[in-house]
């Protein structure tokens, strides 16, 4: 299991403040001999529905020398996690959590 990202606690608090119940910290998935540790698993119970919504959140701080390299690493992990979730927990949506500054730099800049 890797170290927590710098923004892990802030991301967790933001999800909880938004009404999500953190169910896993981290969310562990094992497929054959490969183990995956997604930073957070969360669930929101919707009163009008029988089933709630489930998510998994991968948090990336982008503290390396190159934001593009960090993005490629995050994208690769996210794609692997998406495949693992499809096999083991297909109703869970996957999100990548990054800071606003990184989002603006990479996607709006």
Domains in the chain, ordered, with CATH? 8-53+61-108 (3.40.1350.10)
Comparing 25 with 109, the larger pLDDT belongs to 25
Which of the four pLDDT bands, split at 50, 70 and 90, describes residue 1? low
pLDDT at 22 over 90: yes
| Closest to 23 measured CA to CA, from 99, 98, 89 | 89
Residue 54, C-beta contacts closer than 8 angstroms, at least 6 positions apart = 23, 41, 42, 43, 89, 91, 92, 93
SS3 content of the chain, % helix, strand, coil (to 5): 40, 30, 35
Which of the four pLDDT bands, split at 50, 70 and 90, describes residue 109? confident
Any bridge partners for residue 54, and if so which? 43, 92
């Amino acid at each position: 299991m890797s170290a927590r990202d710098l923004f892990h606690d802030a991301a967790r608090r933001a999800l909880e403040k938004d009404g999500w119940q953190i169910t896993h910290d981290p969310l562990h998935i094992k497929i054959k001999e490969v183990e995956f540790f997604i930073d957070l698993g969360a669930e929101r119970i919707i009163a009008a529905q029988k089933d709630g919504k489930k998510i998994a959140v991968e948090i990336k701080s982008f503290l390396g020398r190159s934001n593009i390299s960090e993005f490629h690493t995050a994208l690769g992990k996210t794609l692997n996690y998406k495949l693992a979730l499809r096999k083991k927990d297909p109703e869970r949506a996957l999100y990548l959590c990054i800071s606003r500054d990184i989002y603006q730099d990479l996607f709006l800049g």
